[in-house]
Amino acid sequence: MKNVYTRIIANTAVQQGLEFIKTDQDKTIADQKAICGISAPPFEEQMRAEEYLKLLKSLGLQDARMDSEGNVFGIRPGTGNGPKILIAAHLDTVFPAGTDTMVREKEGKLYAPGISDDSRGLAAILSIIRAFNETDIRTIGDIIFCGNVGEEGLGDLRGVKAIFRDNKDIHGFISLDGPRANNITYLATGSRRFEITYKGPGGHSFNAFGLPSAIHALGRAISQIADLETPKNPKTTFTVGVIKGGTSVNSIAYEASMLVDLRSNSPEELGVLEDKVLDIVKQAATVENARWVSDLMKVEIKLVGDRPAGMQEVESSIVQAAWAAIENTGGEPVLREASSTDANLPISLKIPAITIGAGGDDGCGHSLDEWFDPTDAYKGPQRAFLTILGLVGIDGVSQPLLAK
pLDDT digits (tens, 9 = 90+) for 303-335: 999 999 988 999 999 999 999 999 999 999 999
Rounded CA-CA distance 69/91 in Å is: 12
Contacts of 382 (CB under 8 A, 6+ apart): 18, 21, 22, 181, 329, 359
Q: What's the pLDDT score for residue 295? A: 97
**Residue 397, domain member (yes or no):** no
Residue 232 CA, chain-centre distance (Å), reads 24
Q: Collect the ranges in the chain with pLDDT lower than 50.
A: none
Are 133 and 18 found together in one domain? yes
φ, ψ at 251 (rounded to 5°): -125, 140
The verdict on residue 399 lying in a domain is: no
How many domains does the structure of the chain reveal?
2
Q: What share of the chain is helix, strand, coil (3-state, %, to 5)?
A: 35, 25, 40
- Domain range holding 209? 190-307
Helices (H) and strands (E) in the chain, counts: 11, 18
| Vertex 159 angle, CA 157 and 160, to 5° | 75
User: Residue 231: inside a domain, yes or no?
Assistant: yes
pTM of the model: 0.91
Of 273, 307, 341, the domain-final residue? 307
Sign of CA dihedral 42, 46, 48, 49: positive
Q: Is 277 helix (H, G, I), strand (E, B) or coil?
A: helix
Q: Are residues 314 and 182 both part of a single domain?
A: yes
Q: Are residues 20 and 130 in the same domain?
A: yes
Give the pLDDT confidence score for residue 154 in this predicted structure. Answer: 87
Position 303 scores a pLDDT of: 97
- CATH number, domain containing residue 290: 3.30.70.360
Helix (H) or strand (E) holding 32: helix 25-36
